[in-house]
Homo-oligomer: A and B are copies of this chain.
Amino acid sequence: MSEITLGRFFFERLHQLKVDTVFGLPGDFNLALLDKIYEVEGMRWAGNANELNAGYAADGYARVNPNGLSALVSTFGVGELSLTNAIAGSYSEHVGVINLVGVPSSSAQAKQLLLHHTLGNGDFTVFHRMFKNISQTSAFIADINSAPAEIDRCIRDAYVYQRPVYIGLPSNLVDMKVPKSLLDKKIDLSLHPNDPESQTEVIETVEKLISEASNPVILVDACAIRHNCKPEVAKLIEETQFPVFTTPMGKSSVDESNPRFGGVYVGSLSKPEVKESVESADLILSIGALLSDFNTGSFSYGYKTRNIVEFHSDYTKIRQATFPGVQMKEALQKLLTTVKKSINPNYTPVPVPETKLINTPAAPSTPLTQEYLWTKVSSWFREGDIIITETGTSAFGIVQSRFPKNSIGISQVLWGSIGYTVGATCGAAMAAQELDPKRRVILFVGDGSLQLTVQEISTMCKWECNNTYLFVLNNDGYTIERLIHGEKAQYNDIQPWNNLQLLPLFNAKDYETKRISTVGELNDLFADKAFAVPDKIRMVEVMLPTMDAPANLVAQAKLSEKTNAEQ
């Protein structure tokens, strides 16, 4: 057993990185490869209902996986192209998806055979070329000797850059042998070291700014999560006691039960006290920023200070000076060794805004509103929850909630592909099964978005993801679009479904369904101790008024319509 097949080598590499579920669908150019999954103990083939959903599931899995990685296997042409939307989303949002495609045999490629799943023109590299636009790196493997190194290079880049990578693997190479000893040397996952001189200059300048600041704040965004800097951020808060805020995409990057957490900053769409706190600061330590429109209230940041330090995954910026290659993880670790001493001795921790987490009392028969739901929901969350919110009312509503300790928030604020969360929930739930089956995975999705990817609930049923709660916010169509344009337009309507029939349709084993429409029903549900125990798949259809929406979404929609019409 000094040799193993290349196919097995690939899966052993995934297993070493705790990527133990592989998403995708079978196709005739990947079948022989799929055989190899079962040779690696502890690995499983998810077998999704379609490729787009598989891509979303892989993205969701990576956001829960300890290394921020996941894997997909699809087939040439018809399989892989259905992944482009999901992979572009992972690229956009910094998610490390290893995207392997089973392609026709070297011989068929050399002969330019007019195979099925081709464009009929003998071009076997066209799909690879398309994927290069949305991948950090790629390999179209042709030679068994270099294949292991090519696979390792792609996996390393997926980790280091937290972006998708593409591997094309011809069907005839899968069973070829490579030395087993290659597995003994683990893939190098070290980040590129910062240039010491640049880093020293960064640390000194930051410490000088800190020493002069009387009202500094920390603002944490998505890349702090994606590039695994949550521990450094937690330490920075502890050491400095500066008020900390997140962006919408940065939610769950910090412990929101920490008394120094001040809320979510979204520029002009922030709550007034949050806006005031952030914008009146005299120093902003920004970590992992991704300044997209929906993440910034349409670019409405209004800092009064010019003292801004931006820590990024590939550079640091201090005021107007850029330090290329000074990446945040190492820089923050270095800063943490001395930051405490640099704080102005006269600095008194300024108070942080409070978040309203209790609703104004209402009669039980009062119709439920988005405002009531998103205020109430924080009390039901518990430590370790994985909270997933769909682009639409949910992604905006969740901003006003308070997350529990060790929670993971998943929301596609930048890419914003509707339907994403149903697939992502499947992936996150399978990742949670591997880490701790008692962790709850809680989805909030609208009735419109649900329709795009509904069949992935079937995969959750297949794998008995009894840790999932599917809250379907039924507001009769695409409310987010109605707010932007066409409130009464027929194109924002959808065919109504009997959503609570979905779990029996998909042959769920242990399940529970409920429909709620009043304040009383919501309160009862969240007071029910049995409901809180993740021991079955649950779907709750939450009936809400069509044009009811979180206030921040209403404001964002107006800004978006304006941008769309601008010449």
Pick from B31, B82, B414: contact of A485, CB under 8 Å? B31
Q: Are B31 and A484 in contact (CB under 8 A)?
A: yes
B88 near A119: Cβ-Cβ < 8 Å: yes
- Interchain nearest-CB distance for A449 vs B (Å): 10
Cβ contact within 8 Å between B564 and A497: no
A29 CB contact (under 8 Å) in B45, B414, B564: B564
B-contacting residues, A367-418, CB 8 Å: 413-418
Say if the beta carbon of A360 comes within 8 Å of chain B: no
Pick the contact of A78: B34, B415, B501, B560 (CB < 8 A): B415
* Given contact pairs A27-B481, A414-B120, A485-B28, A47 touches B491 in the complex (Cβ within 8 A): yes
Q: Given the known A-B contacts A52-B52, A481-B31, A494-B47, are A113 and B81 also in contact in the complex, defined by CB atoms under 8 Å? A: no
A38 to B489, CA, bound (A): 10
B501 & A507 in contact (Cβ 8 Å cutoff):
no
Within 8 Å CB of A419, what residues of B?
50
Partner of A172, one of B133, B453, B567: B567
Let me know if B490 and A47 touch, CB within 8 A.
yes
Q: Which residue of B lies closest to A416 (CB)?
A: B116
Known: A105-B566, A108-B563, A506-B497. A452 touches B49 (CB 8 A): yes
In the complex, A272 has a CB within 8 A of chain B? no
Q: Which residues on the B side are within 8 Å of A115 (C-beta)?
A: 292-293, 563
Chain B residue nearest to A132 in the complex (CB): B130
| Assembly CA distance A458 to B445 (angstroms) | 19
Q: Which residue of B lies closest to A556 (CB)?
A: B116
Does A446 sit at the interface, judged by CB under 8 A?
no
Residues of B within 8 A of A130 (CB): 84, 130, 133-134
Query: Are A113 and B299 within 8 A (Cβ)?
Result: yes
| Cα–Cα distance between A313 and B452 once the two chains are bound (Å) | 37
Bound complex: CA A49 to CA B414 (Å): 22
Query: In A450-470, which residues have CB < 8 Å from any B CB?
Result: 451-455, 458-459, 461-462
Q: How far is the CB of A112 from chain B (nearest CB, A)?
A: 12
Taking the nearest CB of chain B, how far is it from the CB of A122, in angstroms? Answer: 11
- Contact call B502/A34, Cβ cutoff below 8 A: no
Q: In chain B, what residue has the closest Cβ to A486?
A: B31
- A119: which of B31, B92, B478 is its contact (CB, 8 Å)? B92
> Do residues B113 and A172 form an inter-chain contact, with CB atoms below 8 A?
no
What residue of chain B has the Cβ atom nearest to residue A498's Cβ? Answer: B505
Interface residues of A in 497-520 (CB under 8 A from B): 497-498, 501-502, 504-507
Distance in angstroms between the alpha carbons of A146 and B318 in the assembled complex: 45
Q: Which residues of B contact A26 (CB under 8 A)?
A: 478, 481, 486, 489, 491-492
Interchain nearest-CB distance for A19 vs B (Å): 17
Q: Which residues of B contact A114 (CB under 8 A)?
A: 290-293, 299, 414
Q: How far apart are A269's CB and chain B's nearest CB, in angstroms?
A: 14
The interface bits of chain A over 4-41 (1 if a CB of B lies within 8 angstroms of the residue's CB, else 0) are: 00000000000000000000001111011011011000
Show the binding face of A for B, using Cβ within 8 Å. 26-29, 31-32, 34-35, 37-38, 45, 47, 49-52, 77-78, 81-82, 84-85, 88-89, 91-93, 104-108, 113-120, 126-127, 129-130, 133-134, 171-172, 175, 290-294, 299, 413-419, 451-455, 458-459, 461-462, 478, 481, 484-486, 489-498, 501-502, 504-507, 560-561, 563-567
Task: Report, nearest first, the 3 A-B pairs whose CB atoms are least far apart.
Answer: A78-B417, A31-B485, A81-B85
Listed by A's residue number, 14 A-B pairs whose Cβ atoms lie within 8 Å are A38-B490, A45-B490, A52-B52, A77-B85, A88-B119, A88-B127, A115-B293, A117-B415, A126-B133, A172-B567, A455-B455, A495-B506, A496-B507, A497-B505
